[in-house]
Amino acid sequence: MFYLYPKSGVMIRNQWYIVLESREVKSNPVGVTRLGEKLVFWRDQSGKLSCLSDPCIHRGAALSLGECINDHIRCPFHGLEFDATGRCVVIPANGASKPVPDNFVANRFQTFENHGFIWIFYGAEPGDSKPEFFDGLQNHSQHTKIDPWSSHYSRSIENQLDVAHLPFVHRKTIGRGGRTVADGPRLTWLHPNRFRVDVYNRAENGVPAKFPDETPVKSATTQHLDFIFPNLWQNYLTDKLRILAAFVPIDDENTLVYIRLYQKFITIPGLSNLFNLIFMPFNFRILHEDRRVVQTQLPKASKLDGGELLFPADMPIVQYRRKRHELQK
């Protein structure tokens, strides 16, 4: 087995990361930068997905500029062919009858596809583990847009767990009403790598903010935030309307936000797509209100002992950092 060890010191190892949508990889090789690495994705004739390190192990040319042939990817520079495991199976310059040396092996990632997303496993072999996803979305229509942020993915995630910023960053949209006091918020761990956050913001009335254990846990069908490590989040508005975001790390200073609307208010084909297209610009407006501020945060990557002075409403961020720190170790 061959796999890629992470180079970035701020990524969590041995995790399934969403890195692309399935529709982004078709018949030709696709080169991208993810998790600080240049990667190439391609599909064989049956549609099965593979991922290798993009620089060819021979002279460093981008395999993504090559082509798919006989279910292999062929380097555009000297024609070396690699199979899905990363092993070089053809070196044209050596002649067809000469065996390929055993050390001609490219780094590869294990891949997983479901729900229209592509995951890669970052670290050692995943064994039997599979990435988790939010349930109850099978009958929803969906629409996805991709937004680039000049921020580390950890900062982008923390913003979506931050309940206190709403009346300030979003004062003309979802933060209207001046609900500046943050009771709680209440955080519930659903399992070791997943938690939900119940939000209890209210207007100032002279009563100090309540502590988390003074606020109740809401029912599963009430509005809440939901996060799955390492990079998947949702805003559960109702059973029929949810906003999902995958915070895809490009490198230590850049992130792609894959924001996806799920809805089943309108199920008629054509009309449901129209509703999704009409609703998405509002989501982008909210997202860009966040992006404007988050991109200014320093240091770029958050950490547990970052020297920031936090207050009780930051509890979901503290819990996220503690768990992230634990997984990094």
Residue range 152-174, pLDDT digits in tens? 999 999 999 999 999 999 999 99
pLDDT interval class at 5 (50, 70, 90): very low
* Residues 232 and 300 both lie in one domain: yes
80 located within any domain: yes
Q: Answer yes or no: do 246 and 291 share one domain.
A: yes
pLDDT beyond 60 at 8: no
Domain membership of residue 223 (yes or no) is yes
Same domain (yes/no): 56, 175: no
pLDDT at 6 over 50: no
The domain that holds 148 is classified in CATH as 3.90.380.10
DSSP 8-state class, residue 62: B
Query: Does residue 311 form part of some domain?
Result: yes
pLDDT, the chain, mean: 95
The structure's pTM equals: 0.94
Residue 35 lies in a domain: yes
**33, 40 in Cβ contact below 8 A?**
no
- CA–CA distance, 226 with 17 (Å, rounded to integer): 16
Both 227 and 314 in a single domain? yes
In a domain, 258, yes or no: yes
Q: Are residues 88 and 37 in the same domain?
A: yes
Model confidence at 9, in pLDDT bands (50, 70, 90)?
low
Q: Which domain holds residue 307?
A: 141-328
Same domain, residue pair 289 and 178? yes
Element (H, E) at 51: strand 49-53
- Residues 118 and 149 grouped into a single domain: no
Band of residue 269 on the pLDDT scale cut at 50, 70, 90? confident
3-state percent helix, strand, coil for the chain, nearest multiple of 5: 20, 35, 45
**Per-residue pLDDT at 89 exceeds 70:** yes
Q: Are residues 190 and 298 in the same domain?
A: yes
Residue 186 in any domain: the answer is yes
Q: 309 and 281 share a domain?
A: yes
Instruction: For residues 215 and 319, state if they share a domain.
Output: yes
Better pLDDT: 9 or 33: 33
Q: Are residues 228 and 312 in the same domain?
A: yes
Number of domains in the chain: 2
User: In the predicted model, is pLDDT for residue 180 greater than 70?
Assistant: yes
Neighbours of 10 (CB within 10 A): 18
With b for 16 or more beta-carbon neighbours within 10 A and e for fewer, the 55-66 pattern comes to bbbbeebbbbeb
